[in-house]
Structure formats: C-alpha cells, structure tokens
Structure 1
Amino acid sequence: MIIDAHQHFWRLERGDYGWLTPELAPIYRDFGPSDLAPHLARQGIGGTVLVQAAPTLAETEYLLELAGESDVVRGVVGWVDFEATSAPEEIARLARHPKLVGLRPMIQDIADDDWMLDPVLAPAFEAMIRHDLTFDALVLPRHLPRLRRLLARHPDLRCVIDHGAKPEIAAGRFDAWAGEMAALARETRAWCKLSGLLTEAGEGAGRAELEPYVAHLVAQFGPARLVWGSDWPVLTLAASYEAWFEMARSLIPDAEDRRAVFGGNAAGLYRL
C-alpha cells in the first residue's frame, strides 16, 4: 500500500491556526477529506497520516474525530502541551484512541532554540516512549544539534525529522545542514520525512534543485529510514499533489526502495 505519511486538514472557523493568515491565499480556506480524496485516488494511495497544524488539544481532538470517520486516515500525529505537569496523563488519555500514532510540538515556531532540552519536558518524552508513540520533530537546521542531544538523552524515543529539517534550498545552503543530518543519521535511530522540500526550494524550483538534498538524505538514512509525505495542502504553495508525487518517485529510482519509502516504512514508523 502507498501511504502519504504527512498531510493536513483544517477548518478556518476553528480559529487556532496562528500561522495560517490571508497572505497565504492559496491555502487560506478549509481543507478536508473530500478535497484530498481525488488526489489519493489518482495516485493509488491507500492511506495517510494526518498531522496537527495547531498547537491545541482541541485541534488534536478534531483530527481524531475526522480520522474516526475516515478509513483512509490510518493515523494521527497530534499535539499536547509538553510543559504542562499533566502532560503524561494527557498523553496516556490520547493514546487510548486507536489512531493516535504520534505527537508534534511546533518547535520551529518556539522562540527558544533550546526549548526541547528543557528538563521539564522529560516526563512527556518518557510518556511517549511508554505509549509507543512517534515524535515528529518539526525543526529547522539550527535545531539539529539540539535534536541530537535530545535523542541521546532518550535513545528509546522513536523520532522522525519532518521535511528533512527544512534545508534552505532556495538560498543554496547545503554543507552545514548536510553535516548535521549525517551526524543524526549516524548517531541516532531517527527517521526522516521526504516531504516539504519543494516549498523550501523557492519559486520555479524543480527536480534539479532538490536532487542533491534528496540524494544526501538517501545516502545518510538509507531507504529503510525515509518516509514520503505530501505536506498537502501546504504543498500547493509550490506544486500540485501529482507533480510532487511523481518528482519524489523519480528521485528514488529503485523499485524496491520506492515500495519502502512510499508505504512500508510509514507503516513501521507509525505502527499502522
């Protein structure tokens, strides 16, 4: 089965998407299962992982409700307040839902770059380990040394790096990002998502701009620790669903590797 390991739904009237403003006109509207369904059907995609887009428990409950009504959504990556003393209990409660497969604090939007290393968060990370949940690391290149330290503290925490850590492709920055990603791949058991790269590549970018970055991720993590995701509908700021799907497949030329990256690995990562 082909699995899209990273997509979003949102309803603007819910009001907790602080980053989603009218300036992002192409995606400043509601997106739900009926909007995604035609894309999945055209590409023969049988399942998705639905990922949070707002830092609220209310949105996580909303996503779990949608997932409960949809056979195609195989898992939900939600959100909890990792700083709250009640975080372990909240994680235990959410984990009782059969489709809750992971959690994602929105680290890229947190002012303190060292936030993930605060000892107050340790009970939340330990609760994730107890409940066999995946930690989606929404980080930028500058966070990668901190992420390596975090995973050294919690070696049993199953982690996937969202969007390849958003390398600065449009600016042509490669070496520092590449070195940190290589160290993470070598020193930790982290996985990496092949997603979100086109939106980092700038207007008009295509396969040529992405190829060195994807080749590095494949070389460092190997096809067994990479998972493909669309990042739809954010993707539509840069390309169509179909264009990104075909481009990503062309960047993983081996048929057996494609089967893993485009489905099998997501099932293992998220315990689908």
Structure 2
Amino acid sequence: MKIDSHQHFWKYEPVKHSWIDDEMAVIRKDFMPVDLKQVYLENDIDGCIAVQADQTTAETDFLIELASENSFVKGIVGWVDFRGNDIDEVLEHYSKFKIVKGFRHVVQGEADHNFLLRPDFLTGISKLAPYNFTYDILVFPHQLGAVLELIKKFPNQKFVIDHIAKPYIKDGFYNGWAVLMNEIGKQKNVYCKLSGMITEADYKKWNVEQITPYMTLVLKAFGADRIMFGSDWPVCLVAGNYKTVKKLVTDFISQLNSEEQAKIMGLNAMKFYNL
C-alpha cells in the first residue's frame, strides 16, 4: 500500500483560512476528496491520512464525515483542546470513531516557545496513550527544544514530526535544526514525515540539491523504519505539484532497498496510525 501520510481538505473561507497569504493565492479555493481522488489515480497512491487545518472540533467532525464517504481516506488527525477541562470526555467521544487516529495542534502559530510544555497542555497529552491516539507535532525549528523535552516526558506516546519541523530551507538554516533533530531521532517513540519541504524553500526557485541535505539528515536521525512520505496537498501546490513532491521523495529513497522504500511510502504510516 502506498499511503500519503499528510494532506488536507477544506472549504475555503477567507477568515478561517487567513494563513493563506497573497503568495499562496493559488490555494484560496475548496479542496475536497473528489479533487484528491483524481490526483491519487494519476500518482499511484492508495490512501491517505487527512490532517486538521482548523483548530475546532467542528474540523474533526468534518474530516470524520469526509472519511465516511471516501474509502481512500484511511485515517484522520483531528483537533481537540488539550487544555480544556473536558479533555477526558472529548477523547472518550472520539475514541468511538475508528477513523480518528490522533490529533494535532498548530503549535507553530503559538508565540510561546514553550507552549508544548505548559502544564495544562501536558495534562491533555498524557491522556492520549490509553486510547492509542497519536500526536502530530507541528512546530518551527526554534520550538524543537520544547519538542525534545515533551517526547522524553512521554516515552510511551507515539509522536510524529510534521514537515521535518519546517527548517528555513529558503534561508539555508540548517545547523541548529540538525542538532536537535538528531537528538529527537534518538527517541524511538518519534517518527518524522518527509513532507512540506518545497514550501520551506523558495516557492519559485527551489531545487532538489537544496533540499537533499535535510532529507539526508532525517533519514540518518530516524532511519527508514520511522520516516514516512507525506504530500502536504494542497499546500504543496504553492511551490509545485503532486508529482513533483512525490518524485522528490522517491528519487531520494531510490538508494535504499525495496523493503525500506515500501516502509517509507506506506507501511510506516500504516503502522504508526494503526490503519
């Protein structure tokens, strides 16, 4: 099975999706399963994980509904308020939906570098493991110190780093990111998605040679057993197309044996998200 471990759906609303700035105007429209199904047929992808793009439980319900109508959506990563007093009841509710595999918070948008380490947030994270829920970590490199502390606190919780932690490829930022990613990779409960990379480079001028050192570091830090392909569709359309994004990863991993390639292109996502 070839599984895209990271993509989004939305019905575009200017206020709700205000993060889509003028440079990203090409994705200021609806992106729904009917659009992605065709893309997957053209690119030989069997299924996907749909990830939240809005911080409401209505978003989680929206993804559950789409998954119920489209069998190629194999799992969803929703949103809940980890800081809420009702976190137990909310998680209990979503545990009844087998399609819900885990949750994410847009931590990259939080001003506090240590947002992940707030006591109320940690309490919420501590409730995930009994339900076998995963947690997707969406951060910028300056937040990786907090990520390292978080994952050490919960050695039995399954975590995955989204978009290789969004290093500033466009600016050539590497060393500080690399040091922390190496440390994070030593924690065996953490996976990493090879996703969202072309949009961290220059949208119009990026090239493979720019991105390869970042993929090389991730492969070395996490190994072929804990990395997974993700397209970040439709966000990837800002800097390329689906075929380009997939080829970036498949060309890079062509150095590996067929078993390792199969893991990265689908089997690891199936294992991590319990598909």
Alignment TM-score, normalising by the size of structure 1: 0.96
What is the aligned partner in structure 1 of residue 218 from structure 2? Answer: 217
What is the aligned partner in structure 2 of residue 117 from structure 1? Answer: 117
8 Å CA contact 2:83–2:123 kept in 1: the answer is: no
Tell me how far 1:21 sits from its aligned partner: 4.7
Code of the aligned partner of 1:99: I
Tell me how far 1:256 sits from its aligned partner: 2.1
What is the aligned partner in structure 1 of residue 238 from structure 2? Answer: 237
1:168 aligned onto 2:175:
no
8 Å CA contact 2:105–2:137 kept in 1: the answer is: yes
Code of the aligned partner of 1:240: N
1:40 aligned onto 2:68:
no
8 Å CA contact 1:105–1:137 kept in 2: the answer is: yes
1:269 aligned onto 2:264:
no
Structure 1 runs of 4+ with >4 Å offset: none
Aligned counterparts, 1:112-151, within 5 A: 112-151=112-151
Tell me how far 1:24 sits from its aligned partner: 2.6
Q: Distance in 2 between matches of 1:257 and 1:167?
A: 25
Check 1:81–1:14 CA distance in 2 against 1; reply closer, same or farther (3 A cut): farther
Code of the aligned partner of 2:268: N
8 Å CA contact 2:51–2:76 kept in 1: the answer is: yes
Code of the aligned partner of 2:260: D
Deviation per CA, 1:114-134, whole angstroms, max 9, x where unpaired? 111011123311221111011
**SS of 2:225 mapped into structure 1:** helix
Q: Which residue, 262, 265, 275 being the options, matches 1:259?
A: 262
Q: Distance in 2 between matches of 1:187 and 1:248?
A: 23
8 Å CA contact 1:92–1:127 kept in 2: the answer is: no
Deviation per CA, 1:229-262, whole angstroms, max 9, x where unpaired? 0000000001110111112100101222210100
What is the aligned partner in structure 2 of residue 248 from structure 1? Answer: 249
Tell me how far 1:17 sits from its aligned partner: 2.9
What is the aligned partner in structure 2 of residue 87 from structure 1? Answer: 87
Deviation per CA, 1:146-183, whole angstroms, max 9, x where unpaired? 01111111111100000000011111111110000000
Aligned counterparts, 1:26-37, within 5 A: 26-37=26-37
Gaps of at least 5 residues in structure 2 are none
**SS of 2:218 mapped into structure 1:** helix
What is the aligned partner in structure 2 of residue 227 from structure 1? Answer: 228
Q: Distance in 1 between matches of 2:245 and 2:151?
A: 30
Q: Distance in 2 between matches of 1:49 and 1:156?
A: 22
What is the aligned partner in structure 1 of residue 177 from structure 2? Answer: 177
Deviation per CA, 1:54-102, whole angstroms, max 9, x where unpaired? 0111111111100111100000000011111111211121121110001
Tell me how far 1:187 sits from its aligned partner: 3.7
Q: Distance in 2 between matches of 1:47 and 1:161?
A: 20
Moved more, 227-236 or 151-160: 151-160
Gaps of at least 5 residues in structure 1 are none
Q: Distance in 2 between matches of 1:17 and 1:100?
A: 23
8 Å CA contact 1:18–1:54 kept in 2: the answer is: no
What is the aligned partner in structure 1 of residue 157 from structure 2? Answer: 157
Number of equivalences: 272
Tell me how far 1:188 sits from its aligned partner: 4.7
Code of the aligned partner of 1:185: G
Q: Distance in 2 between matches of 1:26 and 1:108?
A: 22
Percent identity, aligned pairs only, is 35
8 Å CA contact 1:16–1:55 kept in 2: the answer is: no
What is the aligned partner in structure 1 of residue 75 from structure 2? Answer: 75
1:57 aligned onto 2:57:
yes
Tell me how far 1:18 sits from its aligned partner: 3.9
Check 1:22–1:62 CA distance in 2 against 1; reply closer, same or farther (3 A cut): farther
What is the aligned partner in structure 1 of residue 97 from structure 2? Answer: 97
Moved more, 164-173 or 5-14: 5-14
Tell me how far 1:22 sits from its aligned partner: 5.5
Q: Distance in 2 between matches of 1:246 and 1:13?
A: 31
8 Å CA contact 2:116–2:122 kept in 1: the answer is: no
